[in-house]
Chain A
Amino acid sequence: MRLVETVKAMTPKAMRRVLIVEDTPSDARQSIAVVKKLGAQEVTALNNIASAMLLLQDVVEGKQPPPDLILLDLSFPKESGFEVLRFWKSNPKLKAVRVVVWTVMGETEQKLCNFFGVDQVIVKWAGPRELEEALRAYTIAPDSAAS
């Protein structure tokens, strides 16, 4: 049982359903393009924290299927992306959802992300190519999918 769990944990999870929480239109467009390129079939992009929280609430209540991955920005004019991280961390039903933070941020914010145990933190200034490279780890490669 333990071995199976370890293997599962090591196997890249499919990135079919992706939730993007991003308020900058250009960044949203870029990230949608990247996840679609990597094989995401169902992409939901939301530009505010409140909507993201409502969606996740629906997921917890079983009204919506959970996303495989959340690509989250932290800086928003009203609430911060940490609200999403709080909700994600405190709901065991969202444990299987992977969270990648994509944001312009300092060292403190990066450290705080570690406290929440997010899967990865990618800095925006590195560009969309870096994002694509990082997110590739969350997709199933064609040959492993076939096997």
Chain B
Amino acid sequence: MSKLPEIIQNHEEGIRSEWLKAMSTTVRRSDLMTDSEIQSQTRELLAAIVAGVKSRDITDLDAQAWTQTREVLQSISASRARQGFTPSETTMFVLSLKQPLFTVIRKELSKTPDIVFDELWAATLLLDKLALLTTDAFLETREQIIFRQQQELMELSTPVVKLWEGILALPIIGTLDSARTQVVMESLLQAVVQSNSRIAIIDITGVPTVDTLVAQHLLKTITAARLMGAECIISGVRPQIAQTIVHLGIDLSGVITKARMADAFALALQRSGRAVVATQNGAGAKKQEAKKEE
């Protein structure tokens, strides 16, 4: 029968104060958390460990008795992941419990050196498992953060701008993959419906490469918009992209393409029966400037 549960229970406060001392030299980050925060976290976690070891099963952390410990550790790791701690700093929070715990074990069982090794091994197993749990929880939180940021980036990267009454522009920046094209397509079609637009300019100046798949996605979007009664103009076709399109044999014959967004906008205005003209004031000012230069 392991004596570890009794040892931890009997020396809870002593272990905790030594643990805090050990942390102050290793993972204490006063810039990220206050003393009171770390005090309450150590108290909470140690109380949960005491509750867990009472079950006498100190190796199976999936057992019911360890639920509280798992929850406390997961919550601490999650908050540290959000606060900006590194994975090793977070893991060391648990691993720095080893030294104070080992010291107490050695003191308590000094008369029975044979048992010391067994208890130290049990304590090592327990703390290593807790440390692994910490890392898992930390990574999970980071993954959640990354996923949320990806979603936000995705939304931010597909703005649909209303250039004029009935004319929309969709500047695409970055690589287009299937998932992103789906978002692009949906936001464009949604905007066409909401603004009742007749012309949509898809600007690909910021798209580094166009492959067959991207071209297919673009053509699909154009076909869908056309079904809804909106014509699409692709602008920002750089010479390299034009070469790639020709090289890949992609048929863009049914699609209006323009090199610059300005040309696409001029065409869109023309198609909707509008034109941009220089005002007399503007023309006069230019003439005056020219005279001055002379």
Contact = CB atoms under 8 A, between A and B. Distances in A.
Contact of B224 (A86, A89, A90, A108): A108
Contact of A82 (B190, B223, B227): B227
B229 A112 contact: no
Contacts of B193: 86, 89, 115-116
Contacts, number: 30
Nearest to B195: A90
Interface in A60-96: 79-80, 82-83, 86, 89-90
A82 B230 CA distance: 10
Contacts of B223: 108
A116 B189 CA distance: 10
A80 B226 CA distance: 10
A89 B229 contact: no
Contact of A86 (B189, B190, B220, B229): B229
Interface residues of A, number: 13
B227 A109 contact: yes
Interface string B194-236: 0010000000000000000000000010011001110000000
Nearest to B186: A115
Contacts of A108: 220, 223-224, 227
A112 B196 contact: no
A106 to B, nearest CB: 10
Contacts of B229: 79-80, 82-83, 86
Contacts of A109: 227
A80 B196 contact: no
Contacts of A83: 229
A109 B196 CA distance: 17
A112 B193 CA distance: 9
Nearest to A74: B227
20 contacts: A79-B229, A80-B227, A80-B229, A82-B229, A86-B193, A86-B196, A86-B228, A86-B229, A89-B193, A90-B196, A108-B220, A108-B223, A108-B224, A108-B227, A109-B227, A112-B228, A115-B189, A115-B190, A115-B192, A115-B228
Interface of B: 189-190, 192-193, 196, 220, 223-224, 227-229
Interface of A: 79-80, 82-83, 86, 89-90, 108-109, 111-112, 115-116
